[in-house]
Structure 1
Amino acid sequence: MPATIPAIVFIGGGPRTAGVLERIAANRPDVFAGPLQIHVVEPHVPGSGRIWRYDQDPGLLLNSMAADITMFTDGSVDCEGPATPGPGLAEWAASVLDASIIDVPDFPQQLWDQLRSMAGTTFPTRQLQSQYLEWFFRRAARSLGRSVTVHRTTATGITALVGGGHGVELANGRTLRADIVVTALGHTDSRPDAVSASFADFAARHGGYHASPSYTTDVDYSPLAPGQDVIVSGMGLAFVDLLVLLMEGRGGRFEEVSDGGLRYLPSGREPRLWAGSRRGVPYHSKISATLQGQAPGPLQFFTAAAVESLLQQHGELDFHQHLWPLIAKEAGHYYYRELLTGSPERGAMDWEPFAARYEGLDWYSRERAELVAAAVPDPALHLNLERLDRPFDGRAFADHREVQDAIAGYIEDDLALRDSPDHPETLALFLALLHVYMEVGRVVPPERLNARSQRVVHGWWHGFFSFVDSGPPPHRLRQMLALHRAGLLQFLGPGLEVTADETTGLFVASSDQSGVAVTAKALIEARLPSTSVARSLNPVLASLHASGLGSEQQLLTADGIHSTGKLLVSHQHHLVGADGKPQPALFGIGPGTSGWGAGAFARPKTNAAPFRENDALARTILAVAGSLAADPSATISPEPAAVGKN
């Protein structure tokens, strides 16, 4: 028997923790097979956690199809640990139905109905996804024997203990002693920033309504009266959820009409929404087309070798100057390959001669533009990534009516491109950006990016990827158009600015591209709160910040020091303290950290970044646990020898 049994405490029991637990079980025979004590602290049901919990409006959906969701580290994942086959969501649903999977609870009837109607192209409800995630967690916990104990409470703080280790304080009054602590907190709440706080104060003083950035389903919208005008800032996924809650959630319903569109039948309880954002348009819809041309191979231009060559040339990299041209060229390669091989009638050149010339040209060169013009006669089919990112840049609208027509037309065009079988090149672009997004964190050392570029990665690049690849199901955009036609959704246009007028007591929304201003007593900021350790409402993050065991990521640029708000972690996910040193027994993972991994679940067979990170972290944890078990008095190295690939 070892001298001690290492104790590992996971703070947060959502899908990211479940993924790491599964990787710990898979890697134990290779790294450390000795006994472990594993504690998971989670106030909600473990596996789904707060964000994916069952207790949500049944109308809320995932923005991924069932065939694109798995929690299993398959053979495509580039990691040290073994692949573990297992069912994605669609296969799991089928297995539950045919009783080849029986370790599930007695589902309510509506979930059985969803299981029976499930197809790979179905956009599942979050309620159904919660059951898949909870099943996976239970499976991962069982694979660790009796090692795992779940504490259905909230962690309130972490303190260093005399003699080593840490105490994890719980809201139920207990304190867990931990040799290793892993924070996997997911999306957390923060105190409003200065602008949101001023809006909240304004609404309170003038009898108005204000909803700060938050997880949409946790906000109380009951004060909004039927027919009340409401300004909505943000048109991303939080906005889509808001429409569900305030429209169908208040008794309205959609019905199909003869032309294939939708008509909204209001209940009379809905408010009237005035929505805008920086772009002025919703996220692009998910894609229903299938590839018709040559199957995409490995990335050709944004590769580890290309990044290493740039590092040797420049030492420090700039995202827009050095990396973005490679990303854009990769996106173009995928896009035009599908266009010329899958729809050759739209081209004037075969793919092989096009690809041979394309390979040696810079994306932003005149020669590349000329090659595309010669190969693809229709300019509407040319890939313009800047126009894709900002579709109305530089356009002035004559009046409010023109704004409505332009944005409704934009949504209709987006549906024509992405929700029909006629434009599979949009799927090729989707796949290119997805593969690059997963690759950035693997091949680009964050410490070799200049500070400005690290901000770009966490800001613009993530936002652009989400805008193009992480949009809602197509029928949500059809519902937006139906709500617009019903007069319950008006568009404010791009470049939205919101101010508060003390004279009238009203919020004012305007766009300098349209010159139109709208006033209302209610304002909803439809987005998640920005990450901030310093302003966090999560007690563990507040504790880490106050004690100095954790710190915010700070970036020094030419115009000063900027904070990303994220919990700073090393490349092996050690928390970095206020003294700038990695904490050898404290780890952090997830969207609130400075690591680049995306999401908690992913598409199968995509070498997904979160699965690579889970495996590497699990092996690091096991290596630390092994050293403690062998010699409890040994000092843990701040950066253990690498035992997995990031």
Structure 2
Amino acid sequence: MTIDSVPGRPHDGRKAAVVLIGGGPRAALILERLAANRPGLFAGPLTVHVVEPHRPGSGRIWRRDQSPLLMLNSLAADVTMFTDDSVQCAGPAVAGPGLVDWARGVVDGSIPDVDVPDEDLRRQLRTLLPTTFPTRRLQSLYLEWFFARAVQALGPQVPVAVHRDLAVDVAADGAGYRVVLASGAVLRADAVVMTVGHTDSEPEPRSVAYAGFAARHGLFHAPPAYTNDVDFSALRPGQEAIVSGMGLAFIDLVVLLMEGRGGRFVDAPGGTLRYIASGNEPVLWAGSRRGVPYRSKISSLLRGEPAGPPRYLTAGAVAALLEVHGRLDFWQHLWPLMAKDAAFGYYRELFTGHPERVALPWSEFLPRFDAADWYSDDRRALVDQAVPDAADRLELEELDHPLAGMHFGGPDDVQDTVADQIREDLRLRDGGANSETLGLFLGLLYVYFELGRLVPMDALTPASRPLVSGWWHGFFSYVDSGPPARRLRELLALHEAGFVRFLGPQLQVGTDEELGLFTASSPQVPSTVTATALIEARLPGPSLAGSANPLLRSLSESGLGSEERTGSEATAAGTGKVLVDFSSRLVAADGSTRPGLYAVGPAASGWSGGAFSRPSSNAAPFRDSDALARRILTDLMELPAPAPDSFTSARLAASITQLHSSLT
């Protein structure tokens, strides 16, 4: 419902109030979990406020009004917002349709409460298959429907007010809080949850320097940002641009600047694509730390026996490490277990799904693999003996740095090598014959979820915390969260058409004042590229004090929140994230915490596993949202007994009408 500028009610003698700041999918999950857990934990009167400038449920990133060309990097079959029986949480699971079944229900009329605004989305609903990579616009409909369903599940006794506004400040107010909105409205709350998602930040010093250089020389510069929100109109047809970053933001960039400017792809022999130019395209020179794009999503099915949950990164193993070491070092204590579990998923599928490619039976390989440490000669010797083809042996360091140790004679060598890397990736991941890559994908996915469940951030050494949100999240994204395979085929077609060129690994971007041009080079390539444009293709890094979000800045200024620090006192550095404890409570500048003040998602220092996830995967976002909802409801039980509710049925009916109006 959209109720702008409605003041919240103080809890003394009245309703308890919860304010969710940010109304995207994570907030919708928490709302649904509040509904599921409330009957068993908190019977008192309650009202919920959701502060979100965009449409509730989808929020900014998944909003409907963005390019129809942009897609999820998840198959439709892998998207759900519902906690199923696999989710290990204290609250009750509530069944509901994943994206595919929801679309079928909308089409056949069994899910009637979805207003589809245009024919393109109606067509997408009709043609959606489990193997489809849906558009973000279609996902927005599902997320907004889920939000409305969560509101409905709370029932008439828990009114939900959605404020299409921006929160600018949170302040302590006795035992509760005052949330100030940009409109001037003030919400009073007993619990506040910040779910602001990815936010913009003030440019880093490096980007500020690039912007100044561009302004002096009349060049184009795009700092880190959500790609769909950047105005690229000043980038001229044929203009050469250096692109720093080859992750998902890079893929979105290529889509918007090529097909988004009128180009199109046609089928070519051998399952490849050919690009038909519109004449409006720039030329992109792309590089990154690895020098290659993210690995494509996998189309194979498992042929062998599923590996199941982690075998080595277990509760018992983590408890034993904590007992000995107190705090855990990521590289020394955790990564060897994580790597071994990822390899277990890979080799189980290779041995049980493709026995013709191995020299030992799985029953002989497994006990020897169990006994060998990841970084041991025994493990390497076992794999050498059991897997005859070196190309079938998994070394995660080589996967992370595919161009390491290569020295290129010139730019042409780089083009051929990176293009070959992309073709090989498509052969392995989209050809159907190498399902061991799916075994690796699932092994890493389970490790990603399990790590957050078993290892509180507080249990890590200070130096390890940024590794988790930095290297580990980046490696997982590179292997498991890449683009649909078609996007890489399109990239190859654009490369062959001359619109995408590759710079190599360990990209170094600079400026040349004398030439008035941006420069790009790789230590492995004996040449330098110059260009009149630079695009930093990545999301902004988190920043508390330097956030463009006024709420996060106010937390830093007031001391109610603090920035996560890593390293020893002498070398402490900030990660930019809001520091939270193991319960997701904000940690103030003086080290204290307050009940009822929480932060989750990519802006917070805790584990962040996204929002929606794969069905039947015991996904971390569902577990975490359930635990947080139960924590909030338990806190509310400590409040003074409320007086009789004065929220009238007439006002409730009007609110429900406004909700449906807002969502359609």
Query: 1:153-209 CA deviation, whole Å, 9 max, x = no partner?
Result: 111211223x44222111222111112111110000000111011101111111111
CA contact under 8 A between 2:305 and 2:349: conserved in structure 1? yes
Give 1:144 deviation, angstroms: 1.4
Instruction: Give the 3-state SS of the residue equivalent to 2:86 in structure 1.
Output: coil
The equivalent position to 2:113 in structure 1, one of 103, 109, 112, is 103
In 1: Cα distance, 2:456 partner to 2:262 partner: 50
**1:113 paired to 2:123:** yes
**1:89 paired to 2:99:** yes
Letter matched to residue 413 of structure 2: E
In 2: Cα distance, 1:437 partner to 1:106 partner: 35
**1:17 paired to 2:21:** no
In 1: Cα distance, 2:367 partner to 2:489 partner: 41
Query: 1:254-306 CA deviation, whole Å, 9 max, x = no partner?
Result: 00012211000010001000000010000000000000001222321111111
In 2: Cα distance, 1:55 partner to 1:62 partner: 15
The equivalent position to 1:501 in structure 2, one of 500, 512, 520, is 512
Query: 1:490-537 CA deviation, whole Å, 9 max, x = no partner?
Result: 000101000111111110001110122111111000000001111100
The equivalent residue for 1:51 is: 61
Letter matched to residue 291 of structure 1: L
Letter matched to residue 214 of structure 2: A
The equivalent residue for 1:27 is: 37
In 1: Cα distance, 2:53 partner to 2:429 partner: 40
The percent of aligned pairs where both chains have the same amino acid is: 58
The equivalent position to 1:139 in structure 2, one of 144, 149, 152, is 149
In 1: Cα distance, 2:264 partner to 2:379 partner: 49
CA contact under 8 A between 1:2 and 1:34: conserved in structure 2? no
The equivalent residue for 1:635 is: none
The equivalent residue for 1:75 is: 85
The equivalent residue for 1:354 is: 365
The equivalent position to 2:631 in structure 1, one of 601, 620, 627, is 620
Instruction: Give the 3-state SS of the residue equivalent to 2:421 in structure 1.
Output: helix
The equivalent residue for 1:455 is: 466
The equivalent residue for 1:180 is: 191
The equivalent residue for 2:163 is: 151
The equivalent residue for 2:273 is: 262
Give 1:78 deviation, angstroms: 1.1
Instruction: Give the 3-state SS of the residue equivalent to 2:196 in structure 1.
Output: coil
- What aligned pairs does 1:547-626 form with structure 2 within 5 A after superposition? 547-557=558-568, 560-626=571-637
CA contact under 8 A between 1:5 and 1:629: conserved in structure 2? no
The equivalent residue for 1:66 is: 76
CA contact under 8 A between 2:78 and 2:613: conserved in structure 1? yes
Instruction: Give the 3-state SS of the residue equivalent to 2:271 in structure 1.
Output: coil
In 2: Cα distance, 1:204 partner to 1:406 partner: 35
Instruction: Give the 3-state SS of the residue equivalent to 2:526 in structure 1.
Output: coil
The equivalent position to 2:491 in structure 1, one of 477, 480, 491, is 480
Letter matched to residue 32 of structure 2: E
CA contact under 8 A between 2:235 and 2:282: conserved in structure 1? yes
Query: 1:415-444 CA deviation, whole Å, 9 max, x = no partner?
Result: 000001100000000000000000111111
The equivalent position to 1:39 in structure 2, one of 49, 52, 63, is 49
- Higher mean displacement: 570-579 or 246-255: 570-579
Instruction: Give the 3-state SS of the residue equivalent to 1:560 in structure 2.
Output: coil
Query: 1:531-580 CA deviation, whole Å, 9 max, x = no partner?
Result: 11111000110111111111110123387011111011111111111111
TM-align CA RMSD: 1.3
Instruction: Give the 3-state SS of the residue equivalent to 1:627 in structure 2.
Output: coil
Instruction: Give the 3-state SS of the residue equivalent to 1:239 in structure 2.
Output: helix
CA contact under 8 A between 1:338 and 1:428: conserved in structure 2? yes
- Higher mean displacement: 440-449 or 510-519: 440-449
**1:286 paired to 2:297:** yes
The equivalent position to 1:417 in structure 2, one of 428, 436, 448, is 428
Instruction: Give the 3-state SS of the residue equivalent to 1:349 in structure 2.
Output: coil
The equivalent residue for 2:4 is: none
- What aligned pairs does 1:269-418 form with structure 2 within 5 A after superposition? 269-418=280-429
In 2: Cα distance, 1:314 partner to 1:221 partner: 51
Give 1:129 deviation, angstroms: 0.1
Letter matched to residue 115 of structure 1: L
- Higher mean displacement: 281-290 or 443-452: 443-452
CA contact under 8 A between 2:16 and 2:47: conserved in structure 1? yes
Instruction: Give the 3-state SS of the residue equivalent to 1:359 in structure 2.
Output: helix
Indicate how the Cα distance of structure 1 residues 319 and 558 shifts in structure 2: closer, same or farther if over 3 A, else same. farther
CA contact under 8 A between 1:438 and 1:597: conserved in structure 2? no
Instruction: Give the 3-state SS of the residue equivalent to 1:451 in structure 2.
Output: coil
**Size of the alignment, in residue pairs?**
631
Letter matched to residue 408 of structure 2: F
Letter matched to residue 30 of structure 1: G
Query: 1:572-628 CA deviation, whole Å, 9 max, x = no partner?
Result: 111111111112221111111011131011111111111111001000111111211
Instruction: Give the 3-state SS of the residue equivalent to 2:438 in structure 1.
Output: helix
Give 1:19 deviation, angstroms: 0.2
In 2: Cα distance, 1:117 partner to 1:552 partner: 46
Indicate how the Cα distance of structure 1 residues 562 and 2 shifts in structure 2: closer, same or farther if over 3 A, else same. closer
Give 1:145 deviation, angstroms: 2.3
In 2: Cα distance, 1:360 partner to 1:258 partner: 48
**1:528 paired to 2:539:** yes
In 1: Cα distance, 2:456 partner to 2:166 partner: 34
In 2: Cα distance, 1:171 partner to 1:2 partner: 26
In 1: Cα distance, 2:305 partner to 2:267 partner: 36
Letter matched to residue 66 of structure 1: A
**1:253 paired to 2:261:** no
In 1: Cα distance, 2:444 partner to 2:142 partner: 27
Letter matched to residue 88 of structure 1: G
The equivalent residue for 1:636 is: none
Indicate how the Cα distance of structure 1 residues 164 and 358 shifts in structure 2: closer, same or farther if over 3 A, else same. closer
In 1: Cα distance, 2:641 partner to 2:355 partner: 64
Query: 1:200-240 CA deviation, whole Å, 9 max, x = no partner?
Result: 11111111111000000000000000000000000000000
Instruction: Give the 3-state SS of the residue equivalent to 1:516 in structure 2.
Output: strand
The equivalent residue for 1:637 is: none
CA contact under 8 A between 2:306 and 2:348: conserved in structure 1? no
TM-score by length of 1: 0.96
In 2: Cα distance, 1:540 partner to 1:482 partner: 44
In 1: Cα distance, 2:197 partner to 2:426 partner: 32
Give 1:4 deviation, angstroms: 2.6
Letter matched to residue 597 of structure 1: S
Letter matched to residue 157 of structure 1: D
Indicate how the Cα distance of structure 1 residues 26 and 2 shifts in structure 2: closer, same or farther if over 3 A, else same. farther
- Higher mean displacement: 431-440 or 101-110: 101-110
TM-score by length of 2: 0.94
CA contact under 8 A between 1:554 and 1:563: conserved in structure 2? yes
The equivalent residue for 2:653 is: none
CA contact under 8 A between 1:4 and 1:628: conserved in structure 2? no
- Higher mean displacement: 228-237 or 108-117: 108-117
In structure 2, the gaps of 5 or more residues are 1-10, 644-664
Letter matched to residue 379 of structure 2: R
Letter matched to residue 314 of structure 1: H
CA contact under 8 A between 1:507 and 1:519: conserved in structure 2? yes
Letter matched to residue 246 of structure 2: M
**1:222 paired to 2:233:** yes
CA contact under 8 A between 1:290 and 1:424: conserved in structure 2? yes
